[in-house]
């Protein structure tokens, strides 16, 4: 490898929550150590790159959002390369590698990356490296880390072939990772992302710390703060230390913070009052489901049944106060801060975080701008190592961010939903700076919910349903935590629900308001032709959007008595008939007035009273009705909608049902 020549490649990313950008930054950071120079840009910055004239290899990191859509930052790019007037060889000169991020719990896994990959191929672009699809459900790092490790070998091949074409192959010195130059092509073709042979072996490693310092001999089980052999006795390959690039300056306490809605760039926001709150489950139910009604009558907010919308929510107040206390900044919470990029930073392309206003208080930043509950990335753990004074704690953080500690990271960090506060409690000698948190904590995201109403049925109203998410106490988290948004919403309406355990009209009480913005869904709407039949599958709170469907259908039936309406099926399941049967009375009414043709329900925790065992799960009921459902979908070209968690529909039943319906499954929305 030529040490005196940096070989450039174009590095593009599109992110919704910051993960794709963080991975692109890691690639950019590693590039220099391998003799490459990454020219990094967001896909939205189309004035800074041009694929039509690009001669160097291109690396793309892209996430997926919504129901399989590319991120908002990739919309213009996708629209451009989707242009049907472009010739099939428009990008035939382009060589690229793509890393897609997704979550297999959603139906359209990694569809953002798959869409861009397919469109580039249709325009003649060629892979120089196999596409990687990383699954956030099991851990992005399981694919991301080996994909990045293999990337350098693939880039070596590209530049070697370029030099051979230029007649300069004799000037190239083989990379020590690669072996003989003539074997590069076969190595690339046989590259296996799970093969340890392609893993980078020259990353920074650390010698074994004194084992007596790291762990007590009485500890035999690993935990967040303690390791056991072999990792406790291994030398470690840890990531390079990310360069700091943020400078924070405290100012006075005079002035006003911006409104949280100003942080949203996705569209118009609306501040709307909560006009009603209902508890849909009994107090002894495993989960607590709430329904909130919003008044949108005096706004331009519009929606269709099946749409989603986003709620702008803050971090938990007590968690913000606790973090300020640990950082030693409790007295500075109301101070305004100025955030700048360090002049001497070594981070390429460093920019000021756009999700933080130019002028706001420290408490505002921690409350509205940063995702305090985010699971710390390995790069963040690596940075925290330098802020930790205790040798044992420092060693354990090194292990958790190392390649050797991948399984410990997955189990004790990722699967345990550990956040920054958990780490600071577990490693009390870790004292990170404020600028480090701003650099590594991602943007606090608005939370998305399905609409559970019809504007035709309830003009000026928008309803939605949610379970209050709870994270129980465990060894890595000593206290129970509720979801950021669901916990906040529940607390917002708690006094009203406690006054009346079931339903409370809020007119006689102070009106609480929340900020929302629209998130339209183009693939999860009722059939445009009302005569087309459809099947709905909605276990648990997955029933929410279908209440809007049925309200809309009922109103259409009332207003258009001469129309022909197709039959409707609803499959619903919950744990107990008397505890969490959501919308029981409403469904009975829909059934009685003919809006709903068939209602099939099951209860997984109730005992069967008859001689014949009753089906316990939605997929079991679907199998019993397979012939009728197949008729609706295959013979009558009906629509099929799923809203729920695909993970909890057994794989064999799901696959069997998919085979039964073949290509007639039109609408799916899994969360």
Query: pLDDT (tens digit, 9 = 90+) per residue, 361-411?
Result: 999 999 999 999 999 999 999 999 999 999 999 999 999 999 899 999 989
Taking only the tens place, the pLDDT of each residue in 219-253 is: 679 999 999 999 999 999 998 898 999 999 999 98
Calpha distance 655→665 (Å, rounded): 12
Calpha distance 671→288 (Å, rounded): 18
Partners of 519 in the beta sheet? Answer: 308
Taking only the tens place, the pLDDT of each residue in 15-62 is: 988 889 989 998 998 998 899 999 999 999 999 999 999 999 999 999
Q: 468 pLDDT exceeds 60?
A: yes
Question: Can you read off the two tokens belonging to residue 399?
Answer: 């292990």
Closest to 484 in 3D by CA, of 353, 323, 374: 374
Calpha distance 472→129 (Å, rounded): 42
Contact 355/263 with Cβ under 8 angstroms? yes
Question: Can you read off the two tokens belonging to residue 661?
Answer: 């319906």
Q: Quick one: pLDDT band at residue 647, thresholds 50, 70, 90?
A: low
Q: 646 pLDDT exceeds 60?
A: no
Which ranges in 259-357 belong to alpha helices (H)?
A: 317-327
Q: Quick one: pLDDT band at residue 288, thresholds 50, 70, 90?
A: very high
Residue indicated by tokens 């129309």: 563
Calpha distance 204→208 (Å, rounded): 13
Question: Can you read off the two tokens belonging to residue 358?
Answer: 């130019």
**Cβ-based neighbours of 293, under 8 Å, separated by 6 or more:** 274, 275, 276, 277, 453, 461, 462, 463
Partners of 471 in the beta sheet? Answer: 481
Calpha distance 120→12 (Å, rounded): 14
- Higher-confidence position of 479 and 483: 483
Q: Pairing between strand 513-519 and 269-279?
A: antiparallel
Q: Pairing between strand 58-62 and 447-450?
A: unpaired
Contact 599/584 with Cβ under 8 angstroms? no
Q: How far is CA 131 from the centre of its chain?
A: 20
Residue indicated by tokens 């020590």: 176
Angular region, 484: left φ>0, alpha ψ -120 to 50, beta rest: alpha
Calpha distance 353→365 (Å, rounded): 11
Contact 143/132 with Cβ under 8 angstroms? yes
- Higher-confidence position of 171 and 425: 425
Q: 500 pLDDT exceeds 60?
A: no
């Amino acid at each position: 490898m030529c040490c005196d020549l940096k070989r450039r490649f174009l590095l593009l990313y599109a992110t919704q929550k910051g993960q794709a950008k963080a991975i692109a930054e890691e690639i950019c950071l590693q590039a220099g150590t391998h003799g490459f120079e990454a020219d990094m840009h967001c896909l939205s910055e189309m004035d800074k790159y041009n694929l039509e004239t690009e001669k160097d290899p291109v690396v793309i990191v892209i996430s997926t959002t919504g129901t399989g859509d590319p991120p908002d930052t990739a919309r213009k790019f996708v629209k451009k390369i989707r242009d049907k007037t472009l010739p099939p060889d428009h990008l035939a000169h382009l060589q690229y590698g793509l890393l897609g991020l997704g979550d297999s719990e959603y139906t359209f896994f990694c569809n953002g990356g798959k869409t861009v990959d397919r469109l580039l191929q249709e325009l003649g672009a060629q892979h120089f490296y196999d596409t990687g699809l990383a699954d956030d459900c099991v851990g992005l790092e399981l694919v991301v880390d080996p994909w990045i490790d293999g990337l350098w070998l693939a880039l070596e091949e590209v530049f070697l072939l370029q030099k051979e074409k230029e007649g300069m192959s004799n000037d190239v010195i083989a990379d020590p990772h690669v072996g003989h130059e003539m074997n590069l092509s076969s190595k690339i073709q046989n590259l296996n992302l799970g093969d340890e042979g392609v893993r980078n072996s020259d990353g920074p490693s650390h010698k074994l710390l004194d084992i007596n310092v790291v762990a007590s001999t009485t500890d035999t089980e690993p935990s967040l703060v303690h390791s056991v052999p072999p990792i406790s006795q291994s030398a470690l390959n840890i990531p390079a230390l990310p360069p700091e690039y943020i400078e924070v300056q405290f100012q006075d306490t005079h002035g006003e913070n911006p409104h949280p809605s100003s942080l949203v760039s996705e569209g118009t926001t609306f501040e709307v009052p909560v006009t009603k709150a209902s508890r849909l489950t009994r107090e002894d139910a495993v989960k607590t489901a709430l329904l909130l009604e919003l008044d949108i009558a005096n706004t331009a907010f519009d929606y269709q049944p099946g749409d989603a919308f986003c709620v702008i929510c803050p971090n938990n107040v007590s968690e913000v106060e606790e973090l300020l206390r640990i950082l030693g900044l409790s007295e500075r919470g109301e101070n305004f801060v100025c955030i700048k990029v360090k002049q001497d930073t070594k981070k390429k392309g460093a920019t000021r975080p756009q999700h933080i206003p130019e002028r706001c208080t420290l408490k505002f930043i921690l409350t509205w701008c940063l995702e305090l509950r985010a699971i710390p990335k390995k790069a963040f753990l690596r940075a925290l190592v330098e802020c930790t004074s205790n040798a044992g704690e420092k060693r354990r953080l090194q292990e958790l961010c190392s390649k050797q500690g991948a399984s410990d990271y997955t189990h004790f960090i990722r699967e345990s939903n550990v956040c920054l506060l958990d780490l600071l409690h577990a490693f009390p000698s870790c004292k990170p700076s404020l600028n480090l948190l701003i650099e590594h904590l991602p943007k606090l995201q608005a939370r998305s919910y399905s609409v559970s109403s019809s504007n035709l049925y309830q003009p000026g109203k928008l309803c939605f349903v949610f379970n209050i998410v709870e994270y129980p106490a465990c060894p890595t988290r000593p206290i129970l935590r509720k979801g950021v948004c669901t916990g906040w919403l529940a607390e917002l309406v708690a006094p009203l629900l406690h006054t009346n355990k079931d339903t409370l009209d809020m007119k006689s009480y102070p009106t609480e308001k929340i900020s929302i913005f629209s998130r339209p869904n183009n693939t999860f709407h009722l059939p445009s032709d009302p005569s087309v039949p459809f099947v709905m599958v909605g276990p648990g709170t997955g029933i929410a959007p279908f209440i809007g469907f049925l309200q809309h259908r009922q109103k259409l039936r009332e207003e258009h008595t001469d129309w022909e309406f197709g039959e409707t099926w609803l499959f619903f399941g919950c744990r107990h008939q008397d505890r969490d049967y959501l919308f029981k009375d409403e469904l009975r009414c829909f059934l009685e007035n003919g809006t709903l043709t068939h209602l099939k329900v099951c209860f997984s925790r109730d005992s069967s009273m008859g001689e014949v065992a009753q089906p316990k799960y939605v997929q079991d009921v679907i199998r019993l009705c397979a012939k009728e459902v197949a008729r609706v979908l295959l013979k009558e070209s009906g629509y099929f909608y799923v809203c729920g968690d695909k993970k909890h529909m057994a794989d064999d039943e799901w696959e069997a049902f998919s085979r039964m319906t073949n290509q007639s499954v039109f609408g799916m929305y899994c969360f």
